[in-house]
Structure 1
Amino acid sequence: MSYEYPPPTQRPAGADQDRTWATLAHLGGILAYFFIGWVPALVIWLVHRERGGQAPEQARVALNFQLTLLIALVVAKVVESLPAIGVVGWLAIVGVGIVSLVLSLLAAVAVNKGGTYRYPFTLELVR
């Protein structure tokens, strides 16, 4: 006996996939210390922004936070290059890296549980 199966249909991204992409957008912040934490959020936002749902909104939130941290890291790097106060810049870089790590993990956990997350301080650069 042969059975005919209907051809596989492509489903739109479900709630689980949407939540996974939103979580990954926040987890990209782990790479902020290396000045590339904004890349995953940007890619996810660009790919998903026309589809709607939670992923593009959370990717935008993560992107704004990571761009804010990128600005802080660049300023800290400039301060680090100054001879008299270089240690302050180095401490700022380490501090920004730790803040990014902790807040990105908190955001990823919150979004993965189905909620949303807003970072405590962020410049709204991408709308």
Structure 2
Amino acid sequence: MNHLYEKEERMWAMIAHLSALIGFMIPLGNVLGPLIIWLFKKETSPFVDRHGKEALNFGITITIYAAVSYLLLIVFIGALLLFALFVFWMVFLILGAVKANEGSEFRYPLTIRFVK
């Protein structure tokens, strides 16, 4: 469903998704980025609140999947899982940001929703 959201709301929702890229510079930044955006902006817009929670849940879920994959490095399959997880993360992170910028709702697949 496509709604007409204000440009600023769409921008902050998109930033909530893209802030996970901070994880390339800061350990656990893929969780901290969306968490910070969500905490600061959740009261200003229900749209940003929904996208922020979704991005946060995806970051937490990806971190858990990565930890399990690291443990599986012992039996080599972990390397394949880490590569597949990275591709999955990047593709859906970008897709989430694009959908937010369009003003559309978005739900990440295979995500555990810790924050409701």
Matched, 1:99 2:92: no
One of 108, 111, 115 as aligned partner of 1:119: 108
- Consecutive unaligned residues of structure 2, counting only runs of 5 or more, are none
Query: How many Å apart are 1:71 and its aligned residue?
Result: 0.3
The residue that corresponds to 2:37 in the other structure is 44
TM-score where L is the length of structure 1: 0.77
Per-residue CA deviation, residues 12-63 of structure 1 (Å, 9 max, x unaligned), is: xx82111111001112344557643122110111111222331121010111
Identical positions, percent: 28
Q: How does 1:49-68 map to 2 (within 5 A)?
A: 49-68=42-61
The residue that corresponds to 2:64 in the other structure is 71
Greater C-alpha radius of gyration: 1
Amino acid in the other structure paired with 1:47: F
One of 11, 15, 24 as aligned partner of 1:24: 15
- Consecutive unaligned residues of structure 1, counting only runs of 5 or more, are 1-13
- Structure having the higher helix fraction is 2
Check conservation: 1:22, 1:59, Cα contact below 8 A: yes
Check conservation: 2:34, 2:52, Cα contact below 8 A: yes
Q: CA RMSD in A?
A: 1.9
Specify the SS of the correspondent of 1:37.
Answer: helix
Instruction: Name the CA distance, whole Å, in 2 between partners of 1:62 and 1:71.
Output: 14
TM-score where L is the length of structure 2: 0.84
Amino acid in the other structure paired with 1:110: K
Bigger drift between 27-36 and 103-112 goes to 27-36
Q: Which has the higher contact order (CA 8 A, sep 6+)?
A: 2
Q: How many pairs were matched up?
A: 110
